[in-house]
Amino acid sequence: MAQHDHSNSQNTYPVSGVGLGLRRSMMDELMAEPPWDVDFMEVAPENWIGVGGALGRKFCWFTDRFPFVVHGLSLSLGGPAPLDEAFLGRVREFLDLHGIRYYTEHLSYTGDDGHLYDLMPIPFTAEAVRHVAGRIRRASEILARPIAVENVSYYAAPGQEMREIEFLSAVLEEADCGLLLDINNIYVNAVNHGYDPRQFLESLPAERVVYMHVAGHYVEAEDLRVDTHGAPVADPVWQLLDQAYARFGPVPTLLERDFNIPPLAELRRELEVIRSLQRKHEPDRDE
């Protein structure tokens, strides 16, 4: 019998079921053959704010038909530069305009005076917890809605004073925000930094989880994985997703694919794996 933590019941999630990260290169194929088996979609707001014309109309075609969440790329919650409040104002208008259900960001920083085009690790320190949590609360205030942050993959931990799980839990508590739980990132970090991914899952505050991400990665070496979103989901990540459902119940889960995007039929097979794992952990199937 699966051990579920029901502290976050199904009706508190912003979306349900199985989601797909919408990329521009997929749009024509998806419009020709609408994926009615997809329950929700996700985009980066930076890629769509202010986009009009034919491309803007295509985007509206999707937002008219599917529930949407957005996953930001550039807010740099952990960075030293002032929070970009003007950008957040534009994001709020975008969310309102398209009826988007939730906003999430990476728990990282992406720039100082310039944009670094990569997700840099925040030092795991008490000072960083206070700094980041204050920025998350301010962002939520400007957006006039709750937000969630994502656990990110990292390859070095400068100035580390606490473990990743302690840092993440402290930020969620201090900011009183949600968690976008990336299963692939847990696995990548566990391999790269030598910890038990299942123990990490068990230590997370279940009531904070809003939805989950699953994606592929690149095997650089036996003890090095790189989070690329450019490959099929690996077997150990599917197993960890199964364990996450055993811990949290069948939380809404989105498939990310950013590079080497295969034909829709191949993505659909991965979406079906997510759906079958969710079915396995539905409460009425526990008995």
The answer to whether residue 11 scores a pLDDT higher than 60 is: no
> Which pLDDT score is estimated for 216?
78
Answer yes or no: are the C-beta atoms of 42 and 19 closer than 8 Å: yes
The answer to whether residue 91 scores a pLDDT higher than 90 is: yes
- Arithmetic mean of pLDDT over the chain: 87
The answer to whether residue 133 scores a pLDDT higher than 60 is: yes
Distance of alpha carbon 94 from alpha carbon 131, whole angstroms: 26
**Per-residue model confidence as pLDDT tens digits over 239-256:** 999 999 999 999 999 999
The band of 99, judged by pLDDT with boundaries at 50, 70 and 90, is very high
Fold of 10-285: TIM Barrel (3.20.20)
Phi, psi of 69 (to 5 degrees): -125, 160
Domain ranges in the chain are: 10-285
> Which pLDDT score is estimated for 260?
76
The band of 81, judged by pLDDT with boundaries at 50, 70 and 90, is confident
The amino acid at residue 240 is L
Question: pTM of the full predicted structure?
Answer: 0.91
At 222, list the tokens.
């036996």
Higher pLDDT, 189 or 114: 189
At 71, list the tokens.
């996953």
The band of 138, judged by pLDDT with boundaries at 50, 70 and 90, is very high
